[in-house]
Each structure stands twice: as C-alpha cells, then as structure tokens.
Structure 1
C-alpha cells in the first residue's frame, strides 16, 4: 500500500500541484491572524497636557473672587452641618461631666475657699520674686471666679518695688489655682493640697 501524500500548506493539494508550485518558485509565507492585526500607538505632544492647566489658571485668575466666595460658603456649610452638630453631641454626652458639688459660676464669688486661693496665689508670687524686690499685696482680691471642680481664677492687685528704696509698680495679675482635696476642706490652708496652674500679668514671673 502506497503512502498517501499529505501537506499542511493550503496551496499544496497533491503531488502534481506541488510540482507546479516548485516550478514557479518558493511558496509564499503564511501569515497568522495575529500579525494581520496592526496596533498603532500615538504619543500626544506635551502641549496637549498643558492646555487644561492653562485653562484652569485662566479661570481661577478671572473668577478669583467668585471662587473665594464659593469656597467660604462651602466651608461655612460644612462647619454648620457637620462640625457643630458633632461638637454639640459631644458636649451633651457624659464625656466632659465631672461628678462634683462645685459646679462653678460665671459671676464672681466671695467664699472662704476663694479667699484661701487668693492667699496661696500671693504666697507663691512672693516666693518667686527676687530677694532684692519688695512686694505689697492688697487686702482683698478684685474678683475671684469659681471654674468648677474646685478650680479658681483670682484677679488681684500687687505692688512690686525695690528694697533699696525704688518706687513700686502696681500691677494686676490673674492666678489660676485648684484645690486637690475637693469637698474635704480641712487641708485647705496647706499649699501642698493645691495645684497652681499658672499666673499672668506680672513681669518677670
């Protein structure tokens, strides 16, 4: 049995066709479908990317006032609709509540503990002044406020001079001080039971 002639080339169907093709010349190459598909990539010039930026700059320059007004409006809207409701919710919660009988007052007070706070502020000031300075305190504070939770703000006058005979300078100070023992006021006269937060209004102190 003679072997059958087979060929994978589409132009070669039989031996006779093969002879005719060989007489003509070499077979043309077969191109696959993948090579028949051409993909072209075009790179845009840099000027094309600069156009939107230039347009945006021109818009902002031309309508800068309008952009500012719109921005402020959005900021106010965000503050009123987002920030303030969140702050109010936190304030209404128990996050900042302190269990204390001393709730504080917006009006000046006149209490024994407030007078003791005034005394401790004066003693602290005296201890912080230089040895060559003289000091004269007022008999009573100008005002004392209770900030709540046994915290006090003392406003008083003081005269600081020179021991060598120089004229004194009258000054007003603010002293914030806290009584650490709370309701137990037996140790109020002891400065160790107080925390002096800060003093302002006195030069060099």
Structure 2
C-alpha cells in the first residue's frame, strides 16, 4: 500500500508539471507572427486569501504557471501576493514590440501597480482575473497570446493511464480496508452486547 501511494505521488508530480492546463508554448522571437507577437514576460497579482474573487487567480498560479514555466523556460514569470482583498486580481502579459490584436480587444482597463514597468521594446496587456475560474483565465491567456497546447506524448498518455489504474486500485484498497474495519467494529459491538445480555441474565 505504501509503495503504491509513493508510486502514485511520483507519477502525479511529474505529470502535473508536463500535462494539463498551462502546458503550452508561447510565441517566441522565432515563431512570432503578425497576429501573435512574442511573449516576453508574465506577471500575476492577487490577494493572499481566496475570498473576494481571488480564488481563480490563486489556482492559476498553482496549476498553470508551473506548466507554463516548464514549457517556456525563457519567459520570465513573477507573482505578487498582496493583502488587498478588494484589490485587483490581474495578469499582465508583456509582448515584444506590440500587443496582439486579440490582446488589444481583450485588455482590461484595470491597473496593476505591482506589475513591473515594461521595457522600451515591450507592450503590455492586462487581463482581469477576478471572479474567474483558473480554466477561464487560461482560456483568455491562450486567446490573447496564441499559445499552442503541448499534447501528451504516448509515454505520458501511458503514465496517465497507469495513474488512473493506480487511483482505482487505491480506492478499491481503501474500500476493502474500511469494510474490514467496519466488520471488526460490528463484531466487537455484538460481543459487547452479548456480554451485557449475559450479565443482565445473571443478575435476574
């Protein structure tokens, strides 16, 4: 059982970085197009606590940014957690030279005072991430940047299937152990009741 859990954790840790929302490649200097210029940096600002519409941004940080960094090691990514629950949850995307046409249409009017100032050769678009699920935020990022999803390789697909098999087996093992424990408790309860009945008869 312990080895099974260790194996599951190891597989899940590796796959979580490589596969899932955020597993995509941004346009670079060599792959940029007129519609989607190169992405140079990202900056995410959100409040430390999840209430007030910051939950999605926090989950985006946990779920998507590690995968984005894994697949885009040259793109600098910074995060600022604030104590301003009423403040914005904002994702600032930095483009080389100009923003994409989709960014110009989707960019919010909110301001993020914590986002680093763009360099002379950078333009920015700020996405309002407040009150959005992290998958909705990721969808907006893909639309604005033209990021291309990285599909799971055959090996990763096999690992996903193995992880699912281990998860099912783990649930079956947990159910089996729970049934054994419950049966033992039921047996102990019946023995206790029987002893109580015997003691009652003795006292009659």
TM range (shorter): under 0.3
The structure where helix makes up a greater share of residues is: 2
What is the TM-score normalised by the length of structure 2? 0.21
What is the TM-score normalised by the length of structure 1? 0.21
Bigger Rg, structure 1 or 2: 1
